[in-house]
Chain A
């Protein structure tokens, strides 16, 4: 392999490039991104917009230069052609590759009518975020309306409240329904309300359509009522960036399909990060896991395999942690099986157990021991004899040390 082309400069693409460079000093690495910035880390965008500190350029602004990567910003890929081993840029330029990594991430997915209207904002990329913030900084907007209350919707709400806007959220069912159980979800909702976010929820609040003559002016709900706002933001979901794969022969379903080595159905083409569908370590189900740790792990494994090292990907973790809320909220694994919980005020610890194994947890307020829970979960440790202690607010490493020593328990951590 002489030349490796990476499409995408997010955590997956960047980690792949770093890994390639460690193992192949002289490899030509070309990294393409449609955006005009150095590589950035999306989780740090809110902090950047709040404080102005460029924490989102997490590897440093001249990182690609230092690593000897041929970095091409403003280079959106339109098409790939596996037959000629070439990618085609939006400006018509073609670039050949020996190995190709697809790491173009995901974009906003909006099933609402009128989603192509001008002026609908989103927060799925720095480009989109800067556009939104331009409106705020210029003082053109006072009121905002966010459609959707998933992880990103909640982040946007917290950002805009902090920036002094009036914020309304349209929620079809409940806040962060996919990630959180009803009880934890209610804690998040309560905190959002406390912070001044107005939440409009229920079946009637189901957003159906973006309306407006030239550009978007309002959102129409199932009830027929149209809500207006200066700034309208869609946070309705994610969809892998697959447009560039049209007619390429690369197989995909919701995301790109890969084998255990993160290789697509075409040898020499790999995929990593939000664009790919991978197996969940715990449930065995295949889906596009949108989180930073998975993107990084996949970028690394894909790079090693591109170099011919044959390293298997052991699976993705479904986990996340909500920031900027004021109280910590964490979610990992599934919400199936026996549920055990302990709650004092806004401190909630919920754990799901199946066949003697910890398979999921949701924490709010008190997040101590989160890492222990995750470790017990990932390694499928039998926790039958620990069940009571898992709900002890003082639970921690000390409990495990004793349990490991005691022959009647034999929980080896």
Chain B
């Protein structure tokens, strides 16, 4: 099974993944046209802050199996693709009851207008694992654009094997049971990280 694997210790919070995601899910698939589109294209990956000054975390749907969101959707708007790998929301069926957002343990569902829904109606939006790109053999847009390898795409077993820190265990559903080997972080990233921690510590005093 293929998945997007997150290495949060590498994320520098540049939000390029958010932009790439919004553009990928726009009608024109072009940044300069996308900004003028209606409804406004929205990212389905969300880079949120951490506790430390410069820590951040790109958060997106884990395509859980079984998926809690799917179990509670009262309109069956949430389904799994036939290869079982991707959990999708059909905006046309969604009634914005927010039950899925209430039970998603990773907090990845947001409500916005969508081309799939009736005009002026907000519906549940989340990562679709770039299902269209994958069909063409491409990796998800967020992965493609990430400059520091905070987002990796590949076979879940291989990725968990090379997972670099303890941290990875926390953020990937299926990775919890995998063995963790340590791989070195690039020096510049390491320095960036420790700078943030120091500043945070100073602020706390």
B partners with A: yes
Please report A residues at the B interface, Cβ cutoff 8 Å. Answer: 11, 41-44, 46-47, 51, 55-56, 58-59, 292-293, 296-297, 319, 321, 323, 328, 330, 332, 367-372, 374-375, 389, 394, 396-406, 412-413
The CA-CA distance from A319 to B103 in the complex, in Å, is 10
Contacts A43-B95, A328-B111; A11 near B74 (Cβ below 8 A): yes
Which 4 pairs from chain A and chain B are nearest by CB? Answer: A398-B57, A375-B105, A396-B48, A371-B104
With the chains together, A319 CA to B171 CA distance in Å? Answer: 26
Q: How far is the CA of A296 from the CA of B75 in the complex (A)?
A: 12
In the complex, B166 has a CB within 8 A of chain A: yes
Q: Which residue of B lies closest to A42 (CB)?
A: B74
Q: Tell whether B50 is near chain A: CB-to-CB under 8 Å.
A: yes
- Please tell me the number of chain B residues within 8 Å of chain A, measured between CB atoms: 37
In the assembled complex, which residues on chain A have CB atoms less than 8 Å from the CB atom of B167? Answer: 401, 404-405
Within 8 Å CB of B96, what residues of A? 323
Task: Give A40 to B166 CA distance when docked, in angstroms.
Answer: 46
Could you list which residues of chain B lie within 8 angstroms of chain A, going by C-beta atoms?
A: 8, 46, 48-52, 55-57, 59, 71-72, 74-76, 93, 95-99, 101-107, 109-111, 118, 166-167, 170-171
Q: Out of B8, B97, B101, B104, name the residue touching A401 (CB < 8 Å).
A: B8
- Complex contact A371–B51 (CB within 8 A): no
> Which A residues touch B95, using CB under 8 A?
43-44, 46-47, 55, 323
A46 to B197, CA, bound (A): 50
Taking A44-B74, A396-B49 as known contacts, 7 extra A-B pairs with beta carbons closer than 8 A to each other, sorted by chain A number, are: A41-B75, A296-B72, A398-B49, A398-B55, A399-B49, A401-B57, A412-B170
Q: Looking at the complex, which one of A293, A323, A369, A405 makes contact with B71 (CB distance below 8 Å)?
A: A293
Contact B99 A397 (CB under 8 A): no
Shortest C-beta distance, B111 to chain A (Å), equals 7
A55 in contact with B75 (CB, 8 Å):
yes
- A370, B170: Cβ atoms under 8 Å? no
B107 touches which of A41, A51, A293, A368 (Cβ 8 Å): A368
| CB-based contact B101/A367 at 8 Å | yes
Indicate if the CB atoms of B98 and A330 lie closer than 8 Å. yes
A-B contact pairs, 15 of them (CB 8 A): A42-B74, A43-B75, A55-B75, A55-B93, A296-B72, A323-B95, A332-B102, A367-B101, A371-B107, A374-B105, A394-B49, A398-B55, A401-B57, A402-B50, A405-B166
Contact A398 B50 (CB under 8 A): yes
Dominant SS among interface residues on chain A: helix
Contact B107 A396 (CB under 8 A): yes
Interface centre among A42, A46, A371 (most CB of B within 10 A): A371
Contact indicator A371/B103 (Cβ below 8 Å): yes
On whether the beta carbons of A44 and B48 are closer than 8 Å, the reply is no
Residue contact B59 to A374, C-beta cutoff 8 Å: no
The interface residues of chain A lying within 8 Å CB-to-CB of B98 are 321, 323, 328, 330, 367, 370
Q: Are A397 and B48 in contact (CB under 8 A)?
A: yes
Q: Which B residue sits closest to A375, measured CB to CB?
A: B105
- A58 and B106 contact, Cβ closer than 8 Å, known pairs A370-B101, A371-B101, A397-B48: no
**What residues on A are CB-neighbors of B99 within 8 Å?**
43, 292-293, 321
Chain A residues in 8 Å Cβ range of B102: 319, 321, 330, 332, 367, 370-371, 374
A406 touches B51 (CB 8 A): yes
Interface contact A401-B50, CB-CB below 8 Å: yes
- From A321, A368, A372, residue with most partner B Cβ within 10 Å: A321
Chain A neighbourhood of B171, CB < 8 A: 397, 401
A42 to B99 Cα, complex, angstroms = 14
A56, B74: Cα distance in complex, Å: 8
Identify the interface centre among B55, B59, B107, B171: most chain A CB within 10 Å of its CB: B107
